[in-house]
Structure 1
Amino acid sequence: MKRYFNTEGQCIPENHYMVRLDQRIKKIKEQYVEQGSYFIINNGRQYGKTTTLWALEDYLADDYLVLSMDFQGITTEEYQDETSFTNAFLKMLIDAIEESKSDLKDTAPLAAFLKKSEAALLSEMFYELSKMCKLSSKPVVLMIDEVDSASNNQVFIDFLALLRHYYIKRSKKPIFHSVILAGVYDIKNLKLKIRPSQERQYNSPWNIAAAFDIDMSFSAGQIAAMLREYETDKRTGMDTENISENIYQYTAGYPYLVSALCKILDEKLPGYEKFAYDKNVWTNKGVSEAVKILLKSHTPLFDSLVKQLDMFPNLRKMTEDILFQGKQIVFSSAEKSIRLGCMFGFLKESNDQVIVANRIFEMYLLNLFMAEESLESEMFRQGQNDKNQFVTDSKLNMDLVLKKFVEYFNEIYGDNDDKFLEKYGRKFFLLYLKPIINGVGNYYIEAQTRDARRTDVIVDYLGEQFVIELKIWHGSEYKERGEKQLSDYLDYFHKEKGYLLSFNFNKKKEIGVKELKIGEKTIIEAVV
């Protein structure tokens, strides 16, 4: 069987090209399992949690009796009451013991208890579990995947409470050496299957859990190591260091997104005429095309992202403020919307600020918000009407795009007050630009330079990049500083020409487009 990039379910090294997890699972064993910790691996969807658990199970097998379970195997009906849950849990546990090939010679004691006590209580079950752990010659590690599928049920809260009770008493009552839960929701704050219409208390019995601080994302170096294995098999001639860095810049190492881009590059792009040869696929242009394909895809990860924004309006508003207004929000895990966004995996903390987790999520969210806005946007319609005049011989005339935007912006919005223009001006430009490049190009907002006054938009159109700085005017000194910043930023992209769109609230401003020279750089400045 030939190896391939996998985006569905568990990744297996023998079958799939994947980032090696040896160092990660070694750290988990040394920092958590060996210390007898109870903890949860809590990350966004498709973040490699299940693959990590499977790898960890194999890694621990020599030293521990590892019992691995998946709570997706317990039905809604089996969560209805204590005895139904106990019954289902014990059946699943017996299967786990048999699959582990443990030195517990058989599962007869637990099976006998299950048969004898079909209406057993949780407390009775834990008494039997304590005896089982005492009989085992190895410390017992319990792993439960997809644990948050149970977290909206009182019986599960009671189950955690008994785990906590035995954890505290384990010097006198034998019980699991370590318990590892995995899921999206943070079980420490249990009642977190939040319904926006209901207020719930966060009185979790899981306050014994150790903080899990191991980074589950992939570094550019880890991606490069995976691509070197692929290159050994395929001989594409790619520059693995450059391509891995480019993939990392788009994904920030989000495991599913890394695999998804690589899968598109490996399986889809060779079918495109302009990528007919392998040497054309694994290039920066190829990565850009793969991003465009991924953003148009209907994936469970993107569906989940949209679902959470719909469920939590405050989270949605905060995300829009970050993207369109450059609003800087101080990170605090105590703030509900921030905590939720980070828990779901599409927000994160950077330098004490809240940011969108990666460039692909930014681009997807921008596309989503723009699609919704476009239904009522006059500026979007103008861009749609004008788009054919901006492209000649497959080249985008960005100078003309800015010139036309200035004309329409002042015509449509020129009479609005400063606060309105400061809040929505940048969004209007993105709405005008969207239909012009739609289907052919992409754009993203550079997270590192974005703030309430400055937004850098990077447009990629058929392999050509345009750097556009959107500025809120705050005096001549600020303008000069902005020109210098843009000039420096052009150096980073190895560009000789850039664009500066100034939203100027000075009554004596000169509306229009002009060309500036800053050193050896050319800057096209548009003022509205």
Structure 2
Amino acid sequence: MKSFNTAAVCVPSKHYMVDITKKVDEIRKMVDDGKYFTISRPRQYGKTTTLNQLKRVLDKDYTVLSLDFQSIDNDAFANGAFFSQAMARIVLDAYEFENVLIPEDTVDALKELNASEQDKVKMDDLFRIFKRWLTKSETSVVLIIDEVDSATNNQVFLDFLSQLRDGYISRDTKGIKTFQSVILAGVTDVKHLKSKIREDSNSKENSPWNIAADFTIDMSLSEEGIRAMLDEYEADHHTGMKPDVIAREIRDYTNGYPFLVSRICQIIDEHFVPEKFSSLSEAWTPDGVAQAAKAIISEDNTLFDSIMGKIRNMPGLRDELRQILMTGETIAHRPDDDDQKQLRMYGFIINDHNTVAVANKIFEMRLYNYFIGESRFSEEMRGDALDHKPEFIKNGELNVPLIMERFIETQKYIRNLNDEQAEKKFIEEEGREKFLTYLSPIINGVGTFSIEEQTRNRKRMDIVIHYNGKRYIIELKIWHGERYNEEGEKQVLGYLDYFGLSTGYMLSFNFNKNKKTGVEEIHIGDKLLFEGIV
């Protein structure tokens, strides 16, 4: 029986996985066209799995030399001689252990290079061996190198790229046979490696990898692909799930990030029965997906460790992310900003119509937890929320109107309502952060919340709370008059229809001195809205 896999390579015969045949075919086309390129994607984004399947496809028509720089010791990058001998060894390993077809004279030459005194070895000796092999080879040779990040901060790797570049140019200008295609894969793109290694400004502009073609193939997992994977799982397990519904939920949380997709499925399949659900039929539901997302944001794993470590070391960008999430600010996408480059490279932020956006809801939820935990309002809000928590939860359900009422009452006493500037600062900058900080300890341990990204701006923010298998929709907004309020009501009603709910909630932060605070019920058609004014 197959399983979901989140460690190392996914194998179609052993694991449930999204069919990536079309993506592999697109990459194959680049190889056939003789392109040299880099597959630069975040950690656990399916790079190695894709390369593994690509090799299987290419093996039918090419000799594929697939190497992994993680198998080279760091000491090998000390100079060109060490590196060339290390390369000779891993190529020999591919010949001996992976049955890569390499001519005997090439094998003998590589062995001789490896046995030579290091002060007599140069990198062009290695490439001269390659040239002789490639010239005689009846089949074209494709070079794939995974985990090129292992070469970080090494000048030797740039020299290696320069040799590959020279071969590529000589192929087109002199007709000298070289590698059909070279594929480098890793988190860090070669330009970033270059900028870290070279110190002088001129070198920063002269990349040895400027012959590389753009790699624009989308490696995220589509809703349709996830659904097909779930169809296969359902055929084996007969849980009664609705694959189309679950696929949409998973895609909504992950934006197709391969590790997160597989991890949600793995948690539901392996960890929820009987701890959280009595059967797989109950686990493979939207509530099960929400619970799995909640479990992921609480995990210690290398993916979050690397991302959060970067954010903690980037105070400027961290503050901008706080503004995006807490106040709805729009931060411009800056292609030349080093901090933004780093977080884009690690897959944490994306360019969304020339503005910065967090890459998916799970990353957002992790960030909200982080910002709420360090909020200057944390002690003030958490104490009151925890004191009244028993009143807010009855029979496993949230009493959202009471939560809003208590929050409104709390704010009356801790804000100076006679200070217009203080009131304006609360409305525009602090109100939403305070409410989220107030809400968090109430639902902690059982529920979680996410923000509908398309609604997050300086005027409004829609919160979707997942608690004990139920959803609650709360719109937080800044009051801009009755007309805008009516539009907000329509938007909440639209969300209620989408989620199949009959009750919704609105919490408005109102700067009008004559406002009437509190919560009131409003019936609109067959829907019930609770509207609160702060």
Tell me which amino acid in the other structure corresponds to 2:444: N
Provide the residue aligned with 2:149 in structure 1.
148
Once the two structures are superposed, the pairs formed by residues 109-508 of structure 1 within 5 Å of their partners are 109-116=109-116, 118-119=118-119, 120-171=121-172, 172=174, 173-191=176-194, 201=204, 203-272=206-275, 275-373=277-375, 376-415=378-417, 416-508=422-514
Shift of 1:260: 0.6
Shift of 1:201: 4.2
Provide the residue aligned with 2:39 in structure 1.
41
Provide the residue aligned with 2:75 in structure 1.
77
Shift of 1:167: 1.5
Question: Is contact 2:88-2:113 (8 Å) kept?
Answer: no
What CA distance in whole angstroms lies between the structure 1 residues aligned with 2:8 and 2:215?
Answer: 22
**Is the alpha carbon distance of 1:312 and 1:204 closer, same or farther for their aligned partners in structure 2, counting shifts above 3 Å?**
farther
Shift of 1:375: 8.3
What CA distance in whole angstroms lies between the structure 2 residues aligned with 1:178 and 1:345?
Answer: 26
Shift of 1:479: 2.4
Shift of 1:451: 1.2
Tell me which amino acid in the other structure corresponds to 2:83: F
Tell me which amino acid in the other structure corresponds to 1:318: E
Shift of 1:95: 1.7
**Is the alpha carbon distance of 1:202 and 1:464 closer, same or farther for their aligned partners in structure 2, counting shifts above 3 Å?**
farther
What CA distance in whole angstroms lies between the structure 1 residues aligned with 2:427 and 2:123?
Answer: 61
Greater shift after overlay, 52-61 or 319-328? 319-328
Greater shift after overlay, 298-307 or 368-377? 368-377
Greater shift after overlay, 295-304 or 54-63? 295-304
What CA distance in whole angstroms lies between the structure 1 residues aligned with 2:370 and 2:288?
Answer: 24
Deviation digits for residues 353-406 of structure 1, max 9, x if unmatched? 322111111111111222222785311222222212211111110000000001
**Is the alpha carbon distance of 1:144 and 1:376 closer, same or farther for their aligned partners in structure 2, counting shifts above 3 Å?**
same
Tell me which amino acid in the other structure corresponds to 2:515: K
Tell me which amino acid in the other structure corresponds to 1:490: L
- Please state whether the residue corresponding to 1:367 is helix, strand or coil: helix
Provide the residue aligned with 1:17 in structure 2.
16
Give the gaps of 5 or more residues in structure 2.
Answer: none
- Please state whether the residue corresponding to 1:176 is helix, strand or coil: coil
Shift of 1:46: 0.3
Question: Is contact 2:378-2:437 (8 Å) kept?
Answer: no
Count of equivalent residues: 523
Tell me which amino acid in the other structure corresponds to 1:262: C
- Please state whether the residue corresponding to 1:68 is helix, strand or coil: strand
What CA distance in whole angstroms lies between the structure 1 residues aligned with 2:315 and 2:35?
Answer: 36
Residue 61 (str. 1) matches residue 63 (str. 2): no
Question: Is contact 1:49-1:183 (8 Å) kept?
Answer: yes
What CA distance in whole angstroms lies between the structure 2 residues aligned with 1:450 and 1:289?
Answer: 23
Tell me which amino acid in the other structure corresponds to 2:443: I
Deviation digits for residues 178-208 of structure 1, max 9, x if unmatched? 110111112133345599xx9x946432221
Shift of 1:111: 1.7
Shift of 1:41: 0.8
Tell me which amino acid in the other structure corresponds to 2:374: E
What CA distance in whole angstroms lies between the structure 1 residues aligned with 2:272 and 2:465?
Answer: 21
What CA distance in whole angstroms lies between the structure 2 residues aligned with 1:469 and 1:278?
Answer: 33
What CA distance in whole angstroms lies between the structure 2 residues aligned with 1:395 and 1:85?
Answer: 63
Question: Is contact 2:135-2:178 (8 Å) kept?
Answer: yes
Tell me which amino acid in the other structure corresponds to 1:474: H
- The normalised TM-score by structure 1 is 0.94
Tell me which amino acid in the other structure corresponds to 1:189: H
- Please state whether the residue corresponding to 1:190 is helix, strand or coil: helix
- Please state whether the residue corresponding to 2:101 is helix, strand or coil: coil
- Please state whether the residue corresponding to 1:513 is helix, strand or coil: strand
Tell me which amino acid in the other structure corresponds to 2:224: G
The ranges of structure 1 where at least 4 consecutive aligned residues each deviate by more than 6 angstroms after the TM superposition are none
Shift of 1:432: 0.2
Residue 101 (str. 1) matches residue 104 (str. 2): no
Provide the residue aligned with 1:512 in structure 2.
518
Deviation digits for residues 98-134 of structure 1, max 9, x if unmatched? 4243152461122223323533122232222222211
What CA distance in whole angstroms lies between the structure 1 residues aligned with 2:64 and 2:448?
Answer: 47
Shift of 1:136: 1.5
Deviation digits for residues 131-171 of structure 1, max 9, x if unmatched? 22112211111111110121211111221122222221223
Question: Is contact 1:458-1:465 (8 Å) kept?
Answer: yes
The percent identity for this pair of structures is 44
- Please state whether the residue corresponding to 1:169 is helix, strand or coil: helix
Question: Is contact 1:484-1:518 (8 Å) kept?
Answer: no
Question: Is contact 2:145-2:183 (8 Å) kept?
Answer: yes
Tell me which amino acid in the other structure corresponds to 2:273: P
- CA RMSD in angstroms comes to 2.2
Shift of 1:309: 0.8
What CA distance in whole angstroms lies between the structure 1 residues aligned with 2:446 and 2:144?
Answer: 46
**Is the alpha carbon distance of 1:436 and 1:509 closer, same or farther for their aligned partners in structure 2, counting shifts above 3 Å?**
same
What CA distance in whole angstroms lies between the structure 2 residues aligned with 1:375 and 1:517?
Answer: 34
Give the gaps of 5 or more residues in structure 1.
Answer: none
Shift of 1:243: 1.4
Shift of 1:509: 1.9
